[in-house]
Amino acid sequence: MRIPGKGLIDRTKALTFRFDGSEYSGHPGDTVASALMANGVKLVGRSFKYHRPRGVLTAGSEEPNALIEVLEDGQQTPNVRATVQEVYEGLAVQSQNRAPSLKFDLLAVNDLAAPFFGAGFYYKTFMWPRAFWERLYEPAIRRAAGLGRLSGRHDEATYEKAWAYCDLLVIGAGPTGLMAALTAARAGADVILADEGARMGGALLSDMGQIGGQGSADWAASVLTELASMPNVRLMTRTTVTGAYDDGTYGALERVGLHVAPKADLPRECFWRIVTKRAVLAAGALERPIAFQNNDRPGIMLASALRTYLNRYGVVPGQRIALFANNDSARTTARDLHAAGVRIAALIDSREGASTDEPFPVHAGAVVSDTAGRHGLTSVTVRQGSREFKVEADALGLSGGWNPTVHLTCHLNGRPVWDDAIAAFVPAENAVPGLIAAGSAKGTFSTAACLAEGAAAAAVAIEALGLKAPIADIPAAADENPATEALWHIPTKPGLWNRAWLDFANDVTTKDVKLSAQEGFRSVEHMKRYTTQGMAPDQGKNSNVAALALLADVTGRAIPETGTTTFRPPFTPVSIAAMGAGGRAAGFAPQRFLTSDQASRDRGAPMIEAGLWYRPSYFPKPGETTWKEACDREVNMVRSTVGVADVSTLGKIDIQGKDAARFLDLVYTNTFSTLPVGRTRYGLMLREDGMVLDDGTSARLAEDRFLMTTTTAAAGLVMRHLDFVQQAFCAGWDVRTISVTESWAQFAVAGPLARQLLSSYLGTEIDLPFMGVAPVRIGNVQGRLFRISFSGEEGYEIAVPTRYGEALFRDLLARAELLGGGPYGMEALNVLRIEKGFITHAEIHGRVTAFDIGMEKMVSGKKDCIGKGASQRPGLSGPEREQMVGLTPVGEGVLTSGAHLYAKGAEATRVNDQGYVTSVGWSPTLNRWLGLGFLKNGRARHGEVIRMVDGLRGHDVLCTVSDPVFHDKEGAKLRG
């Protein structure tokens, strides 16, 4: 219910939202939790395992109970904390993990069966009969498991990722962070102040005290006004710093659009990488619950949450509120509630010497031992000394002390340090280089001390940056101290169903931790996995310390000796969509388009991905219904008239200098220093381990100038390799390399009429010898002409500067069509080269040597080259090697690449495996299937019939082994 005159929300505006299909009203500034509370809704979820009714436990991102699904745009975001989700007009949310409804959940039967569902129950049950595991148990458990659900549809919303740089990153905008940011900003540092809240101010927003004579929240607002006016300050609200990484890098998740109805183009979230010279951790502290019997009922929450709901949201969860604490901060909450006119049923203070002097009942040296009220608290049982009595209450605030939010300081393999005086873990110093913890995050709980520490931490940081800290101007504030006396759990009464909860989110109780220790899982890491304590969405924020305190107790160790588990980023969940922003679908990698792209698409060519490039697969003509019809026609066209294909994607590298030839001799197996100017030569390039890296043709354009080509796939790889060889082994050589792949649009023109076509540009008959290269003028453009062929026909490649590529392509096609030819695509290109036994990276796949592809003679005996030494290692040549062969089916039968080869009559087993098929194609030229592959001792087995088996696609075919060159073995067409 709302308390008049309280809260920082805007009550002048009303908003409507839906929860589980029912409409409720709220105000701007409300969270779903605070608005439901105002509407008297107590039940917000069902627990993970036992499906117990649950209410809101906290007022922050550490919430373990009130997990909801947000429904937007036909999508569903699960496990959203109702304490974080802001209400907007038209928001629709629903509870999780219950069927058919929150009020009536069938799986609550698990609570009845609780004694069988202790820690690790699934290791001890569901084992018999064996067959039932896969058929019954596992599907049933899988259906029951989990919390929220996804919609199953792709997430097509917009997300962002961004970088930010600064001098000082201040994490948390409570009193400590505000002072730190102010101090650094006034000194001229570039400051980023990040806070996970919708509004900055942290604990001050729930505090009724005074700072510098102003209300705490007002003081915070005035500091923020000053910070907002400074150009060297960036304020990032709704931004959780999720992780500390090496070298001053922090990850942060900003909720950009989750607090409003979805809008076109508005990102939902932005994942930031913040690189900073120094950082101040001012992330505050989180309150601890206390474990006692039935401490998980709706209406039971943290005392600080009660305070936040009252002072910030103007709402209370009940009308008779009890509090149970081992420290003074809950007392402040009780006073705030009392001052607002709320009835305090009792303050139950576990400390023997606690003061009872309050305008409401105080029971000192007392504990809560039980509660009642399944769908909402009705009473608590108090034990004081030897007596027990009930107190009627419809809400209970718990305060078991405070845990400094140390997480970020532990992300680089650090562990926090136990401080007995405050019964809490605090950060180890210098656990993250450049990060200073201050304020409650460091274990300092008084407001006055927090303000001072924030200023001091910033001063240390900026002095390290060479800036002068301004004179500290710390306003006066309360100097309170919680005076916590450790209290972890109250033993439950005997009884199988009597449980005290530690981890609310994963339904882990004190019994589970004890069982874990009893069964030998005594290390905190084992206890965590065995019980699943600390593995839920809250990542143990509400249970880690209490659980390890209990574990320490039952294993006879002290808390420091028991230790903590490893803290890892992220601090709160980060959606993968945010981390991968922009990377969905085509955004995953750059798209590379050819100058012929539009013309190809205009002709209906389907485009396929070749690395990052888009290349035409085939050019369908009217009447053709399958790719194969087009492909067969294009192959015949190239072999009978002329075809044009865009081959611009192949890597091209310009290599210059007086040591250029020497350099090529080092990286290629064969000799290039002997190549005459105006000629090209096929070259083979090895990796240093003797495997083939790439092949290509390189042309000598001048004495000191070469143009190397690479395959499309390996262009980047070869460039990197050349850079390495040059920088590592060629110190002082005059050789300079630069990629010119992008600079030239290059087209293959192949077929019996290729020469005629190209001659029509020049007005005279082309007279270029096979493997020659020459400059050529096409109208107004200076280009290059190469006589090389990948098709086996008389072939050329004509290159012009890329800006003319589209124009030349269209013009080439027009001329080709006049001659009865036309464009051909990747499918035909592949068939043509298979017919000629030419290799691609399907054959030189990284485990193949020059010997394997029959090119051992290309490795010059007269010089060293990269890979030569290693290629001579035993086992990389000889009859045991799988050597490249051609394959043809005997009779009807389809060849498939990836199929394996066996001796005819041998069983198709791994032991009998003799090789595999790498490339296949239907050859319209030879009217049969052709394949290239590798076969043990293949070159000695031409003519033999072997067995090809494709287990995946179900082919079992006899093939004849042959030379890989099927068509025009002598190469007469090439050289004519």
Partner 1 sequence: MRIPCPLCGLRDRREFYYYGSDDYLHRPGEGAAPEAWDAYLHLRDNPAGVTRDLWYHETGCTSWLVVTRNTVTHEILGAELVAGEGQGKPAPKGRRKAS
Partner 2 sequence: MADLIAKSALAGHAPLTLAGVTLSEIALDPITSIAPFSGQDAAVAKALGLVLPAPNRFAEAKGARLVWTGRGQYFLIGSPTPKGLAGIAALTDQSDGWAALRLDGPGTEAALARIVPVDIRLAAFPEGAALRTAFNHMNAVLMRTGAQTVDILVFRSMARTAWHEVEAAMTALAARQRLT
Kindly list the residues in this chain that would bind partner 1 in the complex (CB under 8 A): 245-249, 273, 275, 412, 688-689, 719-720, 723-724, 726-731, 864, 868-870, 872-874
Query: Could you tell me the CA-to-CA distances from 695 to 490, 691, 859 in Å, in that order?
Result: 75, 12, 13
Separation of alpha carbons 289 and 510, rounded Å: 13
Q: Beta strands of 189-312 (E only): which ranges?
A: 191-194, 210-211, 214-215, 233-236, 239-245, 249-255, 269-281, 285-287, 300-302
Among 221-229, 355-363, 685-693, 794-802, the segment contacting partner 2 (CB under 8 A): 794-802
Tell whether residue 155 is a contact of partner 2 (CB under 8 A). Answer: no
Establish if 163 lies at the interface with partner 2 (CB under 8 A).
yes
What is the 8-class DSSP label of residue 792? S
Min separation Cβ 165 and partner 1, Å: 11
Q: Give the residue with the Cβ less far from partner 1, 156 or 723.
A: 723
Rounded Cα distance between 635 and 645, Å, is: 12
Q: Answer whether 772's CB lies under 8 Å from 755's CB.
A: no
Please report, to the nearest 10 degrees, the dihedral formed by the alpha carbons of residues 504, 507, 508, 509 taken in order.
80
Question: HEC states along 593-638?
Answer: CCCCHHHHHHCCCCEEEECCEEEECCCCCCCCCCHHHHHHHHHHHH
Query: Please, what sign has the CA dihedral across residues 215, 216, 217, 222?
Result: positive
Q: Which does 922 bind (CB under 5 to 8 A by kind): partner 1, partner 2, none?
A: none
Q: What residues from 172 to 191 belong to the interface with partner 2 (CB under 8 A)?
A: 190
Where does this chain touch partner 2 (CB under 8 A) — which range of 155-163, 308-316, 336-344, 511-519? Answer: 155-163
Q: What angle do CA 851, 856, 861 make, to 5 degrees?
A: 140
Nearer to partner 2, 190 or 835 (CB): 190
Q: Does residue 811 bind partner 2 (CB under 8 A)?
A: yes
Closest to partner 2 by CB, 743 or 912? 743
CB 204, CB 174: distance < 8 Å: yes
Our CB check for partner 2 shows the closer of 83 and 158 to be 158
φ, ψ for residue 457, nearest 5 deg: -65, -45
Q: How far is the CB of 273 from partner 1 (least distance, A)?
A: 8
Is 260 a binding residue for partner 2 by CB under 8 A? The answer is yes
* Closest CB 47 distance from partner 2, rounded Å: 36
Confirm if 177 and 184 have CB atoms less than 8 A apart.
no
Distance CA 506, CA 532 (A): 7
Q: Is 151 in the site for partner 2 (CB under 8 A)?
A: no
Binding at 161: pick from partner 1, partner 2, none (beta carbon under 5-8 Å per type):
partner 2
149 binds, among partner 2, partner 1, none (CB under 5 to 8 A by kind): none
Answer with the entry of partner 1, partner 2, none that 228 interacts with (C-beta below 5 to 8 A by kind): none
Q: Which is closer to partner 2, CB of 595 or CB of 830?
A: 595
Which window, 257-265, 307-315, 375-383, 629-637, contacts partner 2 (CB under 8 A)? Answer: 257-265
Q: 131 is in the binding site of which of partner 2, partner 1, none (Cβ under 5 to 8 A by kind)?
A: none
The distance of Cα 405 from the centroid of its chain, to the nearest Å, equals: 25
Least spacing, CB of residue 808 vs partner 2, in Å: 6
Residue 945 binding result from partner 1, partner 2, none, given CB thresholds of 5 to 8 Å by partner type: none
If one asks whether residue 275 binds partner 2 (CB under 8 A), the answer comes out as yes
- Quick check: 594 binds partner 2 (CB under 8 A)? yes
Min separation Cβ 579 and partner 1, Å: 13
Single out the segment in contact with partner 2 by CB under 8 A; choices: 346-354, 358-366, 500-508, 591-599.
591-599
Stretch that binds partner 2, among 98-106, 255-263, 290-298, 748-756 (CB under 8 A): 255-263
Is the Cβ of residue 288 or residue 700 nearer to partner 2 in the bound state? Answer: 700
Is residue 125 near partner 2 by the rule CB under 8 A? Answer: no
Between 236 and 630, CB nearer to partner 2? 236
In the complex, what is the shortest distance from the CB of residue 868 to partner 1, in angstroms, rounded to a whole number?
Answer: 8
Tell me if 465 contacts partner 2 by CB under 8 A: no
Under the criterion CB under 8 A, does residue 780 sit at the interface with partner 2? Answer: yes
636-675 binders of partner 2 (CB under 8 A): 654, 656-658
Q: Which is nearer to partner 2, 657 or 854 (CB)?
A: 657
**Beta carbons of 733 and 663 less than 8 angstroms apart:** yes
For residue 213, state whether it binds partner 2 (rule: CB under 8 A): no
Torsion over CA: 730, 735, 738, 740 (sign): negative
Question: Smallest distance, Å, CB 275 to partner 1?
Answer: 7
With CA atoms as reference, report the closest residue to 958 among 876, 883, 902, 882: 902
Q: Which residue has the tokens 């069509």?
A: 817
Positive/negative CA dihedral, 265, 270, 271, 276? positive
CA-to-CA distance for 235 and 224, rounded, in angstroms?
Answer: 9
Cβ neighbourhood burial of 787 (10 Å; 0-12, 13-18, 19+)? buried
Q: How far is the CB of 721 from partner 1 (least distance, A)?
A: 10
Location of structure tokens 């001052």: 339
In the bound state with partner 2, the residue whose beta carbon lies nearer, of 256 and 301, is 256
| 873 binding partner (options partner 1, partner 2, none; Cβ < 5 to 8 Å by kind) | partner 1
Cα(38)–Cα(475) distance, integer angstroms: 35
Identify which of 897, 899, 853, 898 has the alpha carbon closest to the alpha carbon of residue 876: 853
Which one of 6-14, 85-93, 571-579, 734-742 is the stretch in contact with partner 2 (CB under 8 A)? 734-742
592 binds, among partner 2, partner 1, none (CB under 5 to 8 A by kind): partner 2
Using CB under 8 A, which of 8, 144, 164, 858 touches partner 2? 164
Q: Side-chain half-sphere of 531: how many Cα atoms within 13 Å? A: 35
CB of 261 to partner 2, least distance (A): 11
Shortest distance, CB of residue 464 to partner 1, whole angstroms?
17
330-338: long-range contacts (C-beta < 8 A, 24 or more apart)? 330/303, 330/397, 330/398, 330/399, 331/358, 332/307, 332/480, 333/303, 333/304, 333/306, 333/307, 333/397, 333/399, 334/358, 334/360, 334/397, 336/208, 336/307, 336/310, 336/311, 337/306, 337/310
Question: How many residues of this chain bind partner 2 (CB under 8 A)?
Answer: 56
Site string for partner 2, 214-253 (x = CB under 8 A): ----------------------------------------
Cβ atoms of residues 394 and 320 within 8 Å? yes
Orientation of helix 510-518 relative to helix 544-554, angle to 10°: 40
CA distance 285 to 302: 13
Is residue 595 near partner 2 by the rule CB under 8 A? yes
- The single residue listed with the structure tokens 């709901």 is 309
Which residue number, 190 or 328, has a Cβ lying nearer to partner 2?
190
CB of 157 to partner 1, least distance (A): 25
Contacts 24+ apart (CB under 8 A), 672-675: 672/698, 672/700, 672/706, 675/700
* Residue 688 binds: one of partner 2, partner 1, none (C-beta under 5 to 8 A by kind): partner 1
Q: Which residues contact 814 (CB under 8 A, 6 or more apart)?
A: none
| Residue (273 or 335) nearer to partner 1, CB | 273
- Does 256 sit near partner 2 (CB under 8 A)? yes
The Cα 376–Cα 36 span in angstroms is 14
467 vs 483 by CB, closer to partner 2:
467
Q: Which of 400, 325, 335, 328 lies closest to 366 in space, CA to CA?
A: 325
In whole angstroms, the minimum distance from the beta carbon of 257 to partner 2 comes to 8
**Which residues form the interface with partner 2 (CB under 8 A)?**
158, 160-165, 190, 256-257, 260, 263-267, 273, 275, 582, 589-595, 612-613, 654, 656-658, 732, 734, 736, 738-744, 761, 778-781, 800-804, 806-808, 811
